[in-house]
Amino acid sequence: MEKLIELSVDSSIRVSNKVININKPEYVYIPILPSSKLLVKKGTNVKIGMPLINKGNDIITSPISGEITSIKKVITIKGEIDSIEIKNDFTEVTIKESKLKKNILNIKKEVLDKILDLFKVNLNNKKEIVLNCIDDEPYTLTESFYLFLEYANFLEVLDKLSDIYKVNVSIAVKASNNFSINELMNYLGMYSNIKLEIIPNLYLLGNNKLLLKHLGLEEINTEVIKASNFYHISNFIKKGRLKTDQLITISGNNIAKPSIIRVKIGTSLKEVFKNIKGLGNDSIFLGNGLMSGKEIDINNLVITNDLTSILVMKKETIEKAYKKEEKCLNCGACIDICPVGINPLLLKDKNYKEKNKCLKCGLCSYICPVYINFNYSDIEGDNND
């Protein structure tokens, strides 16, 4: 077992279980990935679900209906990138919905293979599916909420996948996630092939590899699917709906009502925060959490599917956590805690080859008694998935 720890958290921060819908942005911005092919141009009128960009097997579709008004640079959580700007016409016109709608009972394996491939999931030669509904970051409940809101659809689709691919199914939920556990318990009796795995509140068990290790499952036989990805898969299979929206947690100690928002992909945070009330003064905004996230400018960031949370933190809280940085004591705590067994003290060394194994989990900075900041977010390499 890894040396995983339970993080200390401020228990007064509670996320409301009411979802705020922010689904009428004036504009959305869709990043143009490097080496991808643009399928539209300025002036094109688009409908929801219309292909915009093609990169290999990946087809990025429009989350709104409207007109392409320009190609412009935007900032995302991963940095600056060219994007397609679409002006919303608010008609919500969708391209013809897939015939798959209503057909889940009779769906064929060949069709499912193709759909799953769109979402980078392959169940052929697998023995297990693990639905990963775990949020590692404190004050973030995004993955948990996909399950909480969609458990009836999720169970129906998982049951079908289990039947067609002859795989066992587990749903991994954090022990602290009482609301989902209670709901699932009521339903699971109907699905004898699906089991609930209650995972201890240890940091990083939401990481796919560490989760499998914890469950004693082999990577080669198991497909781990994040709840956020399964939301789009089950929407497509059950409703013929392509990706248009996503959930994001907005919480922290400087916002009156921490909550989950449902937002169109590509909305700017500036538009989102026009609808969010109760922000305190002197806030620092962190994208993707306290441990592995980074400071963001909410007036200048576009939502992409790799943005899962925004923490609104009191400036003094963040300054307190970082201000005391002193000389390294050579205590070795950072090396000892690293879940992938690398040396965080060497992360800044250009020649340190192992640094690409870094998960950017933040445990080394968290554990350091003199608050050394390792700046792992600048490192190229794997993320928490």
Of 100 and 335, the one with the shorter C-beta distance to ligand SF4 is: 335
- In contact, 286 and 254? CB cutoff 8 Å: no
Instruction: Give the interface segment with ligand SF4, choosing from 98-106, 162-170, 311-319, 370-378 (CB under 6 A).
Output: 370-378
**Per rule CB under 6 A, is residue 361 in the interface with ligand SF4?**
yes
**Per rule CB under 6 A, is residue 344 in the interface with ligand SF4?**
yes
- Per CB under 6 A, the list member of 35, 106, 330, 351 interacting with ligand SF4 is 330
Of 49 and 339, the one with the shorter C-beta distance to ligand SF4 is: 339
**Per rule CB under 6 A, is residue 359 in the interface with ligand SF4?**
yes
Of 138 and 339, the one with the shorter C-beta distance to ligand SF4 is: 339
Residue 20, strand partner residues: 261
Instruction: Give the interface segment with ligand SF4, choosing from 48-56, 150-158, 280-288, 363-371 (CB under 6 A).
Output: 363-371
Distance CA 244, CA 21 (A): 13
Q: Is 282 left (phi over 0), alpha (psi -120 to 50) or beta?
A: left
b/e for 204-234, b at 16 or more Cβ within 10 A? bbbbbbbbbbbbebeeeebbbbbbbbbbbbb
Instruction: Give the interface segment with ligand SF4, choosing from 78-86, 238-246, 269-277, 338-346 (CB under 6 A).
Output: 338-346
- Per CB under 6 A, the list member of 331, 348, 349, 385 interacting with ligand SF4 is 331
Q: Could you say which DSSP state residue 58 is in? A: E
Q: Least distance in Å: CB of 384 to ligand SF4? A: 9
For residues 66 to 105, the per-residue mask of contacts with ligand SF4, x marking binding by CB under 6 A and - elsewhere, is: ----------------------------------------
Of 3 and 37, the one with the shorter C-beta distance to ligand SF4 is: 3
Distance CA 85, CA 352 (A): 40
Distance CA 191, CA 343 (A): 45
Residues comprising the chain, all counted: 385
**Per rule CB under 6 A, is residue 368 in the interface with ligand SF4?**
yes
- Per CB under 6 A, the list member of 172, 318, 334, 384 interacting with ligand SF4 is 334
**Per rule CB under 6 A, is residue 290 in the interface with ligand SF4?**
no
Q: Least distance in Å: CB of 333 to ligand SF4? A: 4
Distance CA 116, CA 123 (A): 8
Three-state DSSP class for residue 131: strand
Q: Least distance in Å: CB of 297 to ligand SF4? A: 23
Distance CA 312, CA 289 (A): 10
**Per rule CB under 6 A, is residue 202 in the interface with ligand SF4?**
no
Of 8 and 57, the one with the shorter C-beta distance to ligand SF4 is: 8
Of 8 and 12, the one with the shorter C-beta distance to ligand SF4 is: 8
Instruction: Give the interface segment with ligand SF4, choosing from 8-16, 145-153, 191-199, 327-335 (CB under 6 A).
Output: 327-335
**Per rule CB under 6 A, is residue 364 in the interface with ligand SF4?**
yes
- In contact, 162 and 193? CB cutoff 8 Å: yes
Among candidate residues 193, 223, 226, the one with its CA nearest the CA of residue 127:
223
Q: Least distance in Å: CB of 291 to ligand SF4? A: 9
18 exposed, middle or buried (CB, 10 Å; 0-12, 13-18, 19+)?
exposed
DSSP of 70-129: EEEEEEETTEEEEEEEEEE-S---BPPPPTTTT-GGG--HHHHHHHHHHTT---TT--EE
Distance CA 385, CA 377 (A): 14
Q: Least distance in Å: CB of 341 to ligand SF4? A: 8
**Per rule CB under 6 A, is residue 329 in the interface with ligand SF4?**
yes
Phi, psi of 80 (to 5 degrees): -80, 140
Among candidate residues 246, 233, 228, 230, the one with its CA nearest the CA of residue 28:
246
Of 83 and 140, the one with the shorter C-beta distance to ligand SF4 is: 140
Of 305 and 383, the one with the shorter C-beta distance to ligand SF4 is: 383
Per CB under 6 A, residues contacting ligand SF4 are: 328-334, 337-340, 342, 344-345, 347, 358-364, 367-370, 372, 374, 376
